[in-house]
Amino acid sequence: MHRFEPPPLPGEHRSAAEPTDPYATPTSSSTPQASGYGAPSQAYGYDYGAAPQAAWGTPALNNHPRGTTVLVLGILSLVLLPLLGPVAWVMGRSALKEADASPQPVSNRSSLVAGMVMGIIGTVLLVLGTLIFVVFFFAIVTMSAAPVV
């Protein structure tokens, strides 16, 4: 098996000896003894020290199981079936309460909130549509029952 070796840099001459592995763990004889910036780290064995840790901790990797369901019900309540609005609203509210009570944050909180808000809007559209239907129905009934003069 052949090992890939990059071409030499301009002005660099390759010797016939085996090249050193740049990814090998440095030995104490090959590690420069310096202090200050770029000094070798005693704890980690490489020059730059440990990578900085994020101040906010580990990212939230757990999803709430009803996140997608609430979002889909909210979208459907706006587009096709306003009867699904209250269902999306109630499911979203309970899922948000569960997410807030859990010790670990959920990563799909935004889809829970979006589905719940669309469920609220779908519920408002359902109520408005029902009121308009009732008003027009009674208007038609009273107009048809009135005697023609």
pTM above 0.85, yes or no: no
With respect to residue 26, please indicate whether it lies within any of the assigned structural domains: no
* pLDDT for res 64: 86
Residues 65 and 106: their CA atoms lie apart, in Å, by 10
Output 51 or 111, whichever has higher pLDDT.
111
With respect to residue 40, please indicate whether it lies within any of the assigned structural domains: no
Q: Looking at the predicted structure, is the pLDDT value of residue 35 above 60?
A: no
When divided into structural domains, the chain yields a total of: 1
With respect to residue 6, please indicate whether it lies within any of the assigned structural domains: no
With respect to residue 135, please indicate whether it lies within any of the assigned structural domains: yes
Residues 9 and 7: their CA atoms lie apart, in Å, by 7
Q: For a pLDDT cut of 90, what percent of the chain falls above it? A: 43
At residue 2, φ and ψ (nearest 5 deg) are -95, 140
With respect to residue 102, please indicate whether it lies within any of the assigned structural domains: yes
Q: Looking at the predicted structure, is the pLDDT value of residue 60 above 50?
A: no
Which residues, 6 or more positions from 39, have their beta carbon under 8 angstroms from its beta carbon?
A: 47
At residue 106, φ and ψ (nearest 5 deg) are -95, 150
Beta bridge partners of residue 138, listed in sequence order: none
With respect to residue 10, please indicate whether it lies within any of the assigned structural domains: no
With respect to residue 52, please indicate whether it lies within any of the assigned structural domains: no
